[in-house]
Amino acid sequence: MVTDTEFIRESISQGCVMLADGESFIDRLVKYVGNGRVRWHVEFRGHRIELTTGQLKKQPTFRRKMLEQAGVLPAQRTGANYRRWAIDLRKNAIELPWRDRPVDAGFAVDRLVSHGSDRWIVEYQGKAIKFTTTKLRRQTSFRKRMLLKAKVLPPQLDPVAYRKWMDWLIRNATVAAPQTSDALMTEKSWLDDLPELAGWQKEAPPESD
């Protein structure tokens, strides 16, 4: 069986994405308690990585899990530095009962595609979900629409973490190829299925006397 260290070295030789010290900050750590055991969820750039306490304590295992599930390799710390970091992380974790485990474990979008003029498509497991920039940047709207259209509830991040993740998604978005004039969507057709997010409601016609 390949060890964590061997797996990391092989991934580096194949050109995996390695983060610098300043890019390795996680959004938060959630501690789930219940059923006689403790589970940890590391939230990072919209990913949620589940770890045991032992896996969190071991830097090679932690880095491998991040690489496998988030697609990036965190910066390596010295042994003592990592131990202090992991202890501080656990001390500041948000603690929740296990019955509140989110349905979004392991959530990650495949990619974000820009269609210009304030139009975006989030691709998730074969589904294409339309957004405007405003709705994309509002976490409540994003989570509600993903649940409605893709039947998945993304992680509930704190506002700063969500903004940071969404900024990262937008910076790394794929730009869609230009379409012919006949194929271009009108603004109305793009927004036709967004009324539940925009808060649009058709007013009932006034009753006649």
Q: Kindly report, residue by residue over 81-96, the tens digit of the pLDDT.
A: 999 999 999 998 888 7
pLDDT for position 198: 45
Mean of the pLDDT values across residues 102-109? 63
Answer yes or no: is pLDDT of 54 > 50. yes
110-121 residue pLDDT tens: 889 999 888 999
73 near 11, Cβ under 8 Å? yes
pTM across the whole model: 0.50
Question: In which residue are the tokens 């339309």 written?
Answer: 130
In sequence order, what DSSP letters do the residues of the chain get, joined into one string?
---HHHHHHHHHHTT-EE--GGG---SEEEEEEETTEEEEEEEETTEEEEE-HHHHH-HHHHHHHHHHHHSEEPPP--HHHHHHHHHHHHHTPEEEEGGG--TTTT---SEEEE-STTEEEEEETTEEEEEEHHHHH-HHHHHHHHHHHHS-------HHHHHHHHHHHHHTPEEPPP--TTTPPPHHHHHTT-HHHHT--PPPPPPP-
Which residues have a Cβ under 8 Å from the Cβ of 70 and sit 6 or more positions away?
44, 45, 47, 49, 108
122-177 residue pLDDT tens: 998 889 999 999 999 999 899 889 888 887 778 777 788 788 888 888 988 888 87
Average pLDDT of the chain, as a whole number: 80
Helix axes 79-91 and 59-70, enclosed angle (nearest 10): 70
